[in-house]
Structure formats: C-alpha cells, structure tokens
Amino acid sequence: MKHRFVAPAIVAALSIACLVLMYYFHSPVGYIIIALCLLCLFFGYVKYINRQAENERKQLLESVQRTAAATLGHHRHDWMNDLQILYGYIQLGKYDKLAGCVERIKEGMVADSKISRLGIPSLVFYLHSFREMNGSVQLEVCVQEDLQLGNLLTAEDAEQFTEAIISTIRAYQFTGRSSWGDVLQLKLSLCREGGEVLAIFERQDKASDNVDMLKRHLDKWNSGKRVLAEQIDSNPESLRFRVACAN
C-alpha cells in the first residue's frame, strides 16, 4: 500500500519546490517557467491518477469475472453430478429412485431462482458465488416465496442490509469453528414480516461457546444503523436483522 503514496508525495514535494523558487525569483520569465512547470506537473499527475483508476477498474472487473467463472464451474459440476446419479439409477433399473432425485434437483433450481429474484445485485452475486469464496462455511439460504428486496428497500437500506448479511457471515466464520478443519453449517432465512424485511441466521451444527463474540458484533453493528440486529432469546447463537420496508 505504501507505493500508492509515493507519486502524491513526489508531486507535493516538487510543487513546494517550485513555489519556493518562485518566491526567490523576481523576473517575469522565471515566473512563467515555474508556472509552466507547475502546469505540466498538474496535468501529469491527473494523467497518472486516471491511469491508476483505469488499472484498478480492470483489476476489479477481472476479479469479478474470475469469481463468476468459478461460480459457473461449480454449478456445472453440480449438474454433472446430478446427471451422473440419474444415469446411474437408469442403468441399474432403479426407477423408483428417479422421482426423488429429480425432486431434489428441482428444489435446488427453485432455491437458486428465489435468490436471483431478490433484486439486490450485490447480494445476489454474493450468495450465488458463496461456495467459491467461502469453503469453511456451508450456507443454506431460504428465501420467502416471491420476495423481491429491490422493490421493498431503498438503495441505501439495500446496501446496508447486504453489508449486514456479509459481515455477519464473516463473524460466524471467525467465531463458529472449534478447530481449523471444521465446516460451519449456517442457515440464512430471508423473509418479510409485516412492514419489515428480516434476515435470520441459525447455526445448524453443534454450537460453539462464542456467544460473547457475536454479541460484540451486534453491539458494533447497531451503532447508528437503520438495519437493526438482535440475538434470538431461544438461541443465543442465532441472530436476526430487520429493516423497515420503504414500500
């Protein structure tokens, strides 16, 4: 990160040097030369900033493209597994098992479809690409039928709601494993109740003793946020986030 401040520091030093020289020079020609130097320095720095911003945009786009490609690869792998299972049942003549296998595939497609219709692109992309980015958490996402958050929340609330979900999953990720090799099983339910949208987190595996760490996460989150968070009384390892609907 230090190299990011090298160019601004050099530009600032050169600018100060030019201004100091201008103080000591008393000829119009000297003023003009120094002014031209400052002008060239300014345009050069603007060009450098634009180039840096373009490089950062390219890097971000490439990162998103890699994640999207990996996510599609995971979906393709799952489809191939399902097809192999179906083909195996057909070859073995176990036709009675086909209905259950097809029903499981259908349920997975319906779940993915519900996530895609949430209407918050950043949240949809995060949930669809979760398995690629987070191998230590097995996340089950349950979305209420016909729930479209894009129509219920303002842009600001939608951004904060997404931030709450992502930061809470990270909090579970860092507090919920008793050993390095454990895979945390977490369920996220998204629904609307009355005039509020809810995100409910529930541990599906054996709970750890990190309730205090989750409480600190909530206390930190609730500072000046419209999306409110609370622990569920019946299960301290479960958290609930709620935000008022705009419509």
**How do residues 53-84 score in pLDDT, each as one tens digit?**
888 888 877 776 676 777 777 777 777 888 88
What strand order describes the sheet that includes 196-203?
137-143, 184-193, 196-203, 235-244, 228-232
CA–CA dist 58, 14 (Å, integer): 30
| Helices assigned H by DSSP within 96-177 | 98-116, 121-128, 130-133, 149-152, 155-175
Tell me, yes or no, if the pTM score tops 0.85. Answer: no
Q: Which helix (H) or strand (E) holds 97?
A: none
Query: d(Cα 215, Cα 8) in Å, to the nearest integer?
Result: 42
pLDDT band for 52, please (50, 70, 90 cuts): confident
What average pLDDT does the segment 25-35 reach?
Answer: 72
The pLDDT value given to residue 192: 93
Q: What are φ and ψ of residue 222, in 5° steps?
A: -70, 0
By the 8 A CB rule, do 238 and 232 touch?
yes
3-state secondary structure of 202: strand
> Given pLDDT bands bounded at 50, 70 and 90, which one contains residue 149?
very high
Look at the alpha carbons of 210, 211, 216, 222 in this order and tell me if their dihedral is positive or negative. Answer: positive
- CA distance linking residue 143 with residue 205, whole number of Å: 20
Q: Give the rounded percent of residues in the chain with a pLDDT score beyond 70.
A: 83
Whether residue 177 has pLDDT greater than 60: no
**Contact (Cβ atoms closer than 8 angstroms) between residue 150 and residue 162:** no
**Helix axis angle, 155-175 relative to 211-221, nearest 10°?**
160
- Kindly state the helix (H) or strand (E) to which residue 143 belongs, with its residue range: strand 137-143
Tell me the Cα Rg of the chain.
27
Most confident of 191-200, 219-228, 237-246: 191-200
Share of the chain residues as helix, strand and coil, in percent rounded to the nearest 5: 65, 15, 20
Read off the pLDDT of each residue in 45-56 and give the average, rounded to a whole number.
Answer: 82
Q: Residue 130: how many CB atoms within 10 A of its CB?
A: 20
- In which region does residue 202 sit, left (phi positive, over 0), alpha (psi from -120 to 50) or beta (all else)? beta
Q: What is the pLDDT of residue 1?
A: 47
